[in-house]
Amino acid sequence: MKRALPLRLPAALAALALAAATGTLVSMPEASAATGSATGYAAQNGGTTGGAGGRTVRATTGTEIHQALCGRASASTPITIEVTGTVNHANTKKVSGGSCDTADGVIELKKVSNVTLVGVGGGALFDQLGIHIRESTNIIVQNVTVRNVKKSGSPTSNGGDAIGIERNVRNVWIDHTTLEASGGESEGFDGLFDLKDNTQYVTLSYSVLRNSGRGGLVGNSESDRSNGYITYHHNRYENIDSRAPLLRGGIAHLYNNHYVRLNESGINSRAGARAKVDNNYFEDSKDVLGTFYTDEAGSWQVGGNVFDNVTWSRPGSENHPAGPDPKSTTTVAIPYSYRLDAAGCVPAVVSRTAGANKGLQVSDGTC
């Protein structure tokens, strides 16, 4: 029997009432701080605590973020970096030191551990500047907006990814972020949230991903199947052409997300990936689940989802939609506790909680 994720105490009482009606809450949750703690797969493998226990510094530029990383006693000394204002190319320069590995024009969390990067005050905007997490462990990024990161044109940053995570990364929690672009690859943009090259134990929660050709991927090719154990919950994908996300190999758990205007395809489970897809709300979209653009199939376990004005294409040699009546093709055992909101409540819950500058609100179990 699963134990519910921690909630604030008043929310717990409401959630218990909901449980009586829906049966989705299985036991009394515990109280927790408003900022919460890592959920989903990021809470596994020893957990994700970021810079907890270390000193807290304030940064208003990208260079100051790099200086904070480079000023630590070691690359693993815990630190919380509070960011306020706009971070851009003009104020993000390489800083050298024994506890960091940084570069101009991108926020580099590279070969480091035990770091929290959190937006405070009036907000933290990373404008045309991506966040790159590479060869790192125990990282939290929370309450930031990243927009219009380009891989071509000018200026370029982070290979065009708003947040890009790659190469032997473990335990990352991305929470209450807003990731957005202004078009697709032809306009110079790539993915909003990409994971590749042996990245594991990651959670993306309470975030907004919008106005992009590509929402994000797990694995950069059909042979890159070393990634997995990824949780996506209480996120809003809006006006995304495809990759919401694209999964190659590994296991992903997707629950209580709101998908609006997925224009070409949505959750693309392929190359042996296995996806558990619970109590999501899909709206005004096409081909929201299946294996697309390849003959190397993935699989899925579905339950409790709502399909509202969703259209499905005909199956083909490289096009294998799960609908119009999606059925499970695998089973996925989830090792952590979680509470499901009713799918019909997801649009309202996600609208008031997801994204940066929402006060780090989380679901209280009610519509």
Residue-wise pLDDT for 24-71, tens only, equals 332 222 222 235 699 999 999 999 999 999 999 999 999 999 999 999
The answer to whether 282 touches 308, Cβ cutoff 8 Å, is: yes
pLDDT at 35: 56
Nearest to 132 by CA among 109, 112, 113, 159: 109
Other CB atoms within 10 A of residue 99 CB: 17
DSSP state of 150: B
Amino acid, res. 115? V
Q: How far apart are CA 146 and CA 58, in angstroms?
A: 18
Residues contacting 152, CB < 8 A, separation 6+:
160, 188
Interatomic CA distance for residues 180 and 268, integer angstroms: 20
Whether residue 315 is preceded by a cis peptide bond, meaning omega within 30 degrees of 0, is: no
Which residue positions in the chain have pLDDT lower than 70?
1-36
- Phi then psi for residue 278, to 5 deg, are -115, 130
* 24-34 confidence digits (pLDDT tens): 332 222 222 23
Token digits of residue 44: 């596994």
Closest CA to 244 of 206, 278, 285, 272: 285
Side by side, which strands form the sheet with 217-218? 107-110, 131-134, 163-166, 193-196, 217-218, 246-248, 267-270, 289-292, 319-321
Nearest alpha carbon to residue 256 among 136, 361, 158, 342: 342
Q: Does residue 171 contact residue 141 with C-beta atoms inside 8 Å?
A: no
Which of 243, 270, 274, 339 is the catalytic position? 243
Cis amide leading into 347 (omega within 30): no
Quick check: is 243 catalytic? yes
Residue 33, class by beta-carbon neighbours within 10 Å (0-12 exposed, 13-18 middle, 19+ buried)?
exposed
Cα 309 to Cα 59: distance, rounded to the nearest angstrom = 45
**Using omega within 30 degrees of 0 as the cis cutoff, is the peptide bond preceding 155 cis?**
yes
Q: Is 143 within 8 Å of 54 (Cβ atoms)?
A: no
Contact between 240 and 263 under an 8 Å Cβ cutoff? The reply is yes
Rounded Cα–Cα distance for residues 340 and 338 (Å): 7
CATH 2.160.20.10 fits 40-353, yes or no: yes
CB atoms within 10 A of CB 312: 17
> How far is 142 from 206, CA to CA, in rounded Å?
10
pLDDT score of 21 = 33
Other beta carbons within 10 angstroms of residue 11's beta carbon come to 18
Residue that has been written with the tokens 């990383």 in this structure: 69
